[in-house]
Structure 1
Amino acid sequence: MQYPAFDPVILHLGPAAVRWYGLMYLLGFAGAWLLGRRLARRPGSVIDERQLEDLIFFGALGVIVGGRLGYILFYDFGRWLDDPLALLRIWEGGMSFHGGLLGVLVAMAWFARRQGLRFLQVTDFIAPLVPIGLFFGRIGNFINGELWGAPTHLPWGMRVPCAGHLDLCLNKLGLPPGTPETPPLHPNQLYEAGLEGLVLFALLWWAARRPSGMGFLSGSFLLGYGVFRFLVEFVRMPDSHIGYLALGWLTMGQLLSLPMILFGLYLVYRSRRMSS
């Protein structure tokens, strides 16, 4: 299959540009807000619709600040040292989920303290909302033509024109200058949109409708995302400036997902034990 090579800019408004990547973030936050309203209306909800607006605002702030800082610290610290203003150029891509997660956790801890709630009560509320944002974020990665998978012979592998993706062709795949297109690549962004987005959302939304102990939904999210991300990384190209960290296959994404899996298992076990 041939990658359609989207223009990352939707339209130009004078000196400003509206980009698909930014639009995907807006859709993710809007989807979380709409679904959050449904959760807030359920009997026994710890968050009401008035509080939800603040929750989404601080969550969005945590995603953007944490995601960008996390990407710089985990994946591109050397570039930041050479070009500190790169931190501000979010429209170029470069957001770390794990950094965004840490940013959201800090924001939720602050929100919980302000509202007189327990931290896990707040994270249980937002856990089913996060995958919808992950879905749109990965679609944004696909449109941006970034985070491709490894070469594949599967029929849905995509050939990427090298003219617009020199970093991918030359640095990640080691192709010579002038190569017109890549070999077929795993559309890794779509795998993650499906697993970390749609599948994880369906599982958590189903679980949210059933009684469970405090921390169960939070733990299920950490466990589900960590497992899906760890598995998908096997067919994802490692960052060219980092490569594999150990054993000839361990990537930075897998390393950062391991604590999520372990802590998710602990929260699920703890919630089950407390509710039994």
Structure 2
Amino acid sequence: MLQHPQIDPVALQIGPLAIHWYGLTYLAAFGLFLLLGRLRLAHQPFAGVAQPLPWTKRDVEDILFLGVLGVVAGGRIGYCLFYKPAYYLANPLEVFAVWQGGMSFHGGMLGVMVAMVWYARTRQRPFMQVMDFVAPCVPTGLAAGRVGNFINGELWGRVADPSLPWGMVFRGAGDLPRHPSQVYQFLLEGLLLFVLLWLYARKPRARGQVSAAFLFGYGVFRFIAEYFREPDAHLGLLALGMSMGQWLCVPMILGGALLWWWCGQRRVSTPGGRAPGS
């Protein structure tokens, strides 16, 4: 079996200033979003003169700024509400102690959606068009985050069969080999979701279907990965033997499928078979 390399979480130390690998993965995520967002400007319906408000590089930068705020605020609030509501209700000031760790993807996603609602209204753009622009640019950032989780040796997987060639022993998780679930999530909800969504978004879709595909795809891949990821110690497995992460994915999967169908129906019901503004 393999041993986790136990990489020093501090990438660079300059006097009292410590630059952590996890912070660098966040910077990588932001840089990838800028790059992919600018490439996305060449895709329909964001390119060309048909748009009443042409999309520009400034839009990508503004979306990134607001998205970062939404991720941080939503991720922290979501973690407090979804995973430790009783603790943070008794210790409300601890909500602001972000340096102690504790972020939720699902909360971060809701935070980004709120930020994009504000962006869409202030820029007079359809909300679903904004989300369709953002969705294909997100998975690479998720992949970068999972690299940070692996470097830190956190969010490890469940105990694996000793014969598993890539079973790995993580510091602080005992002496038994475990699934490197961070790698699974990097591959599934990061790289694979990015490739599928990027290719899907390259062809004309009804407005909202790209966003729906992201919701459905992430929900399915995260649900699968959760079978290999160790549940939170203070929660364990919940009803039906499912983890909190899986239960939070259920509405994503159902909502994504319903939204995709509804957006397709709107296009079909529109004269000429074209969705308004698609």
- Pair 1:84–1:232, CA change in 2 (3 A): same
Identify if the C-alpha distance between structure 1 residues 13 and 82 changes in structure 2 by more than 3 Å, giving closer, same or farther. farther
Report how far residue 132 of structure 1 moved. Answer: 0.8
Q: Equivalent residues in 2 for 1:1-276 (5 A)?
A: 1-42=2-43, 44-45=45-46, 47-81=55-89, 84=92, 86-153=94-161, 154-161=164-171, 165=172, 169=173, 181-247=174-240, 249-276=241-268
Q: TM-score, normalised by structure 1?
A: 0.88
Percent identity for Structure 1 against Structure 2 = 51
Residue 128 of structure 1 aligns to a residue whose secondary structure is helix
1:174 paired residue number: none
Deviates more, 1:135-144 or 1:77-86: 77-86
TM-score (norm 2): 0.88
- Give the drift of 1:76: 2.8
Contact 2:143 2:187 in 1 (8 A): yes
Larger CA deviation: 218-227 vs 181-190: 181-190
- The separation in 2 between residues aligned to 1:261 and 1:41, in whole angstroms, is 29
Taking the aligned partners of 2:251 and 2:44, their CA distance within structure 1 comes to 33
Partner of 2:260: helix, strand, or coil? helix
Deviation at 1:91, TM superposition (A): 4.5
Deviations 1:105-128 (A, max 9, x none): 000000000010111000000000
Q: Deviations over 1:152-204 (max 9, x none)?
A: 1211010123xxx2xxx3xxxxxxxxxxx420000011101110000000011
Contact 2:44 2:202 in 1 (8 A): no
CA deviation after TM superposition for structure 1 residue 82, in Å = 6.1
1:89-140, CA deviations, whole angstroms, 9 ceiling, x for partnerless residues?
A: 4454321100000000000000000010111000000000110110011111
Query: Residue type matched to 1:30 in 2?
Result: G
Residues 86 and 19 of structure 1, relative CA distance in 2, 3 Å threshold: farther
Q: 3-state SS of the aligned residue for 1:235? A: coil
6-15 vs 198-207, greater mean Cα deviation: 6-15
**Cα distance between partner residues in 2 of 1:6 and 1:88:** 28
> Structure 1 stretches (4+) deviating beyond 3 angstroms?
41-44, 77-93
Structure 1 residues 11 and 76: CA distance shift in structure 2, 3 A: farther
Amino acid at match of 1:155: P
Q: Secondary structure at the match of 1:127?
A: helix
Count of matched residue positions in the alignment of Structure 1 and Structure 2: 258
1:12 aligned counterpart, secondary structure: strand
Q: CA deviation at 1:80?
A: 3.4
Q: Could you tell me which residue of structure 1 aligns to residue 50 of structure 2?
A: none
Amino acid across the alignment from 1:226: G
Q: Residues 141, 87 of structure 1: CA spacing in aligned structure 2 closer, same or farther, 3 A cutoff?
A: farther
Give the residue type in structure 2 aligned to 1:106.
Answer: V
Runs of 5+ consecutive residues of structure 1 not aligned to the other structure:
170-180
Q: 2:156–2:170: 8 Å Cα contact kept in structure 1?
A: no
Letter in 2 for 1:213: A
